[in-house]
Each structure stands twice: as structure tokens, then as C-alpha cells.
Amino acid sequence: MNGLALFELNKALLLDAEDPFPSRRDEFFIPPTGAPHFRTQECLYFTGNSLGLQPRKAREALTTELDDWAQFGVEGHFQAKHPWVSYHERFARGLTHLVGAQPHEVVAMNALTVNLHLLLVSFYRPEGRRKKIICEAKAFPSDQYALASQVRYHGGNPEEDIIEIGARPGTHAIDEADVEAALAEHAGEVALVMMGGMQYFTGQWLDMPRIVKAAHSEGALCGFDLAHAVGNVPLKLHDWNVDFACWCSYKYLNSGPGAVAGAFVHERHVKEEDIPRFEGWWGHNAQRRFLMESQFDSMGTAEAWQMSNAPVLNMAVHAIALDQFVQAGMDNLRSKSLRLTAYLEAGIQAVAKANDVHLEIITPQDPARRGCQLSLVAHGFGKQLFERLTDAGVVVDWREPNVIRMAPVPMYNTFEDIARFVNVLKLSTAKAPLNA
């Protein structure tokens, strides 16, 4: 891919026409650009890593539940088109497809950090010397808060009991060998390894099975926050022997702001009768739930971690979104993601060369080490470049102190989107750098 010729619009349109996995763009609403002189034109949307687009069937899904509520009232728990009493069971097929699990290992419930806390109750069990947690440096703040508060709850000191693994000097990606080294250095002291499967800032896809193996070999449990991995890359949580995981559904899963999250618990744990766990009515044996028994009888599945009945209106869109992923197939989506992200990477490099500017992609170059997100540092431009892109109708996001994140999502982004973006980037960086 030499120069900017490849990013001419007609060539991008040809790539879209010839792609073996056509875009499902027509199934989504594309927001209009915020650029005042392009008010009726669709924006160039590259923030599916932050909030996915609305499926066109979302309104119908919500209306179905509202109509059933209006018609049946409380009897909608049993009479609705999708009975509310078993509503969460609709999600097992889609979730197993997305995360590589058995149906009894997954459940849709709560919000991401709520699920992380509930899982940490079960899987962070400090005892004696074994009380430390290993996580990545610059983890998403909510994960940092959750881990630190759990350590304090158990009487520990986060400054001493949380070990952060960062990139080596002069690099941006975490080396899994450093996780292994930390486990060896603190042999017998680590209770849990809990990391982001896909690092939110750099977009690095960690070698999850390697980390799991290393943790288990040192007697520690291992879990992941998959907020930026689920729906982005193929996962095999069961086969990789991951102990637990949690994720949100409003990013790549296109289920709407604040949508219901998900959780995975490996089958070797779901039947542990003495596992520490916060329990509620909806984790109780469904066959006996309405007998109102005082003694908890676990579902014997990941549903045992589900404390309350399904928030149906919150979950209605999630069902539509999961169906889209099952129909598309994660292998197809991953294949297209590789093509789109490589095209975007080549475009950024071509602009840097054409305009003689330093545009540094801090996401790993190896496609096997990343999803569709690229994180860009535009040296000499700072946040003003992000603002120029925004003014031109490009939706990316800014992360302090100096990173522009962008994600060509294979479910709805196209080569045409990327070609248009590359031309905007070329114009935006042709101006004199502002912070040289």
C-alpha cells in the first residue's frame, strides 16, 4: 500500500464491493455529522469502542416489551411474547458464541463494575501471605477503583497488595513475560491475576491463555475485564480455562448506553457449593423459586451469581444485538476487522509520509496482538488535531494525555469510511503543528 492513491474514493468503493463479508451498515442508524456545513451528511463514526451504534430494530424490540406490559401487566412475566420470568435465558446462545463458553457458564446481568465486584467476592480470597493482585498498569479507572476497594475491604493495603504490570521503557505494549516474572517474584503471595483482555488505552490484546496458564501454575486465580474485547475479537474462555470474566454490552455489542452487562464463570466453579458469593432470588433454583424457600438452592450455573430478575426494557435491545452477532459470525467479523484495521493503519502511515509529520500508532503492529482499535499519538498537534477532526465530521475519541482512539468496526464501518477519514486526516495535519 504505497502513497495516498489507494485511498481514493473510487478504490475504496471497489474494496467494499469486492469484500467477501459485506457491511451490515444498513442495519444501523449512522448519526449525522456535527460539522455545521455538513449537517445532513452522515458522520464518519469510529467510536464503536466507546458506544456502538443503534440497531434499526432496537425501537421495535422496545415497543414489543412496552406493548406486552400495557396488555398484560404483571401477567407479562408469563404471557409476554418473550416471558419476563425467563427473559435472561434468551441470551445464553449469543453470549456463548461471543466468548467461547458453555451455556451454563454465562449470564447477562447488572453493569460491568457491579459484576466485577460480585465476581471478586468469589475469586479474590486473600489468605495468609497469598493476598496480592496482579493487574495491568493504567487499567481502566473503574477496574482500579474496584480492585483497590476490594483489597481495603479485606484489610489490605492497595499500595502493597496490588502489583501493576506496565510496558517496558520505550515501549507501549505489556510483555506477558513480565506478568510471569511478577508471579515468580511473588511466589505464594498472589491470590489473583485480573487484567483487561483488551487494554482500553493502547488497544493491545493480551495473550490471555498464556496469562491464565501462568497464574494457575503459581496457584493464583485469573479473571478478565472484557469490555474492549467482547464483540471485537474471538474469545475461548472455556478452553483457555479462564476462572471468571465480565464485560459491558454498549461498546462493540451495540446494545445502548448503560445496557446490561455480562459475566462468565468457568464450569469448574459454578457447582462449588461452598464458594463465597453474594446471593439473591434469581440465582435460586428456578424450579423452586416461587416456593419462597428461605434456604438458597443454587442454580448450579453462572445464573447463581444473578441476584435479581431481568431488567427487561434494558435488555430488549441486547437481544437484537446478540442475534446480529450470531448471524454475522465472529470469524467473519474478525476477518473483516483485520482488513479494515490494516487499511486504516496504512492510511495513517501514508498521511504521515505525505505531510512529513510524526503520527505514532501505539497499538501493536502485529494484527494478532490487537482488535480493531488503533490508538494514535499525533506528535506536535495535541488535542487540537482531535478538535479539527471533530469539526470535519469525524467521530473519534480523546484520552488524556495525548491519545486519539479510533476503531473501524466491521459490523458497520466500511473502506469508504476509512478513505474519507484518511483524506480528512491529510488536510488536518497539513496545517502547521500547534505544539511543536
Residues of the chain with pLDDT under 70: 1-2, 34-40, 431-436
At 95, list the grid cell: 453470549
φ/ψ region of 213 (left if φ > 0, alpha if ψ in -120 to 50, else beta) reads alpha
- Delimit the domains of the chain by residue range: 5-54+329-430, 82-328
On whether the 82-328 domain is CATH 3.40.640.10, my answer is yes
**Rounded (10°) CA dihedral 177, 183, 187, 190:** 180
What is the Cα–Cα distance from 355 to 249, expressed in whole angstroms? 38
The pLDDT, as a whole number, for residue 436 is 40
pLDDT per residue over 270-295, tens digit each? 988 899 999 998 889 888 888 899 89
- Its CATH class, for the domain covering 5-54+329-430, is alpha beta
pLDDT of residue 1: 43
The count of C-alpha atoms lying within 13 angstroms of the C-alpha of 140, restricted to the half-sphere facing its C-beta, is 22
Q: What is the pLDDT of residue 289?
A: 85
Q: Residue 121's CB: how many other CB atoms inside 10 A?
A: 16
Nearest CA to 232 out of 48, 31, 22 is that of 48
